[in-house]
Amino acid sequence: MKESGTFFLVVGPSGAGKDSLIDGARATLDNNEYVFARRIITRPTGSPGEDHEGVAEAEFAERERNGEFLVTWHAHGLRYGLPQWLVGLLETGKHVVANGSRGVIAMLARQLPRFVVVNVTAPQDVLAQRIAARGRESGDDVMRRVARQAPPMPDGVRCVTVSNDSTLDLGVARFTDALRDGAGAQPQPASHRHLAAKLDGQSLDEGAYEAILRDAIAGRYTEQELTAFLTAATRSLDDREVVALARARTRFTPRIDWDEPIVVDKHSMGGVPGSRITLIVVPIVAAYGLAMPKTSSRAITSAAGTADAMETVARVDLTHDDVRRCVAQARACIAWNGRLNHSVIDDVMNAITRPLGLDSRRWAVASILSKKATAGATHVIVDIPYGPQTKLSARGDADALAGLFEEVGKGLGLHVRALATDGTRPIGRGVGPALEVRDVRQVLENHPDAPMDLREKALRFAGEIIAFDPRVASAAQGMRIATALLDEGSAKAAFERIVATQGIRTDPVAPGAHTHVIVAPTEGRVAAINGWQISGIARAAGAPRRAGAGIDLLCTIGERVAAGEPLYRIHAESAADLATAVAMTRPAGEDATAVRIDPD
């Protein structure tokens, strides 16, 4: 008797590109082996979107009563169904591929002997861009859709994760590989003994982690098995294992080789509004002459990421060839990392750790440094802010994490310097892409209004990086060199070269023209500035999606203010966004709470 074929249910968030991957696989795979299901939907045939069979509500209900559907579901005000006759194709040995809903996974898993879920993913900022490009949703509706958490996978269901974060051709190649692997893979992964050992509290070596990650990416574990594994690992992942995990991760991405004795990189754990020092550090380092191919993220929950800020003046969607060209011509770049070193391993693991709220800091160290190693870095500086609104609330926690970064770096053959920094207050004045770049330009231009805290932190980190050069005796000497490069205009010239080499914007983004000033409700001293609330108001104004939106801080902690004196200015690109942001400043009818004023 012929072995039953495999039923592949393709799921994923809006913007992941499921339809495009299915269309590409249909054109690639042998149609004698793979059948691509045509869904039945209660909308007219020929409507925009996928090729489907359109039926009226009454006909759909009639077919359902007659048992003509394998499964049905509701979504977006419509009814969807997959025909029952697909089971007959499975019995002949054909593999069936169907676009479906996570809500029917458990039902299909009970009915079908060989069933695999293909979970198509992409970074959240890519999802947001794709959804916004459709023109059906905008603003907070897009962000809410992107942030929506998918329900957990039912017990025992095999799930393969496919990252569609790059070109369509690469996404289709990954997708078709997943279908081929899923059709013939064995249900018991070879690395299962290592996973069981970790569940038992044992330490694992590099080979064991590599085997588990390889099987996880290939979908040979259920979500429940990976959840149990990650939960156990967060409870008992010692320093030696973080090194092993980081080394194992490097096996999944080819290393970029540079013909340079020193290649430097920087990473920040984030959480401090306005701290856009990278756009100052990179040109200082480039002006000194060290190679710094910097890749950075876009914002997910904050008001701006480094890539969002840089994109207000230059192209950031660079290829590997672009990055090499920029380093050759300008000694550095500031590019978006989603196209360059996004990791499918992180897609698999983050889908589990984030909804569960697992402490993934030790996993993050392995992830961050493995990416730096495969990107070809030899020396890395890490900024670890601590404070009540950052990822690490206490200085001791930041120091401990800094030590772990440096130890894992040694295990990867990297020279890592990690610094605990004060994250109790915003850095600079602008919060939002264009406003932050305004601050950066003021620092680079040595403008008298430049925020000194932004300048000082940037110089500290630039000095530490320059001190990686063995010809520089100390970080203090490195900072003196960095200061001279900034003061004499060399850093500003280097920034302009980087912008020109990446591709200058002919229409640089300016701060939004719609503004509203929040004033002090009473006289007193500025006691605290709540970074979470400042970022939340900036996002309500449209940042980072609207690059001109954000907050301009007009006061500093410790400053004395009079009643009615400006505290901060909201910038937006539309009156509607401005009104939304202003409404957030007065919860429950109270005065502005993002800045706390204490009486003298």
State which amino acid sits at residue 330. Answer: A
Q: How far apart are CA 306 and CA 278, in angstroms?
A: 7
Does 16 appear as a known binding residue?
A: yes
Residues 73 and 14 sit within 8 Å (Cβ to Cβ): no
Number of other CB atoms surrounding residue 8 within 10 Å: 27
Does 490 appear as a known binding residue?
A: no
Provide the CB-side half-sphere exposure for 131 (13 A, CA): 23
Residue 510: CB partners within 8 Å, gap ≥ 6? Answer: 434, 548
Residues 391 and 365 sit within 8 Å (Cβ to Cβ): no
**Helix ranges, 135-219 (H):** 140-147, 168-184, 192-199, 206-217
* CA angle at 166 for the pair 160 and 168, rounded to the nearest 5°: 85
Does 173 appear as a known binding residue?
A: no
**Helix ranges, 289-432 (H):** 306-310, 320-330, 344-356, 361-374, 395-411
Does 19 appear as a known binding residue?
A: yes
Does 13 appear as a known binding residue?
A: yes
214: left (phi over 0), alpha (psi -120 to 50) or beta: alpha
Does 14 appear as a known binding residue?
A: yes
Residue that the structure tokens 């080499």 belong to:
501
Number of other CB atoms surrounding residue 170 within 10 Å: 12
Cα dist. 530→275, 298, 388, 470, 592 in Å? 14, 22, 9, 41, 11
Phi/psi of residue 514, nearest 5 degrees: -85, 120
**Helix ranges, 45-153 (H):** 57-65, 86-91, 105-111, 124-134, 140-147
Does 564 appear as a known binding residue?
A: no
Residues 373 and 255 sit within 8 Å (Cβ to Cβ): yes
- Per the annotation, where are the binding residues for ATP? 12-19
- Per the annotation, where are the binding residues? 12-19
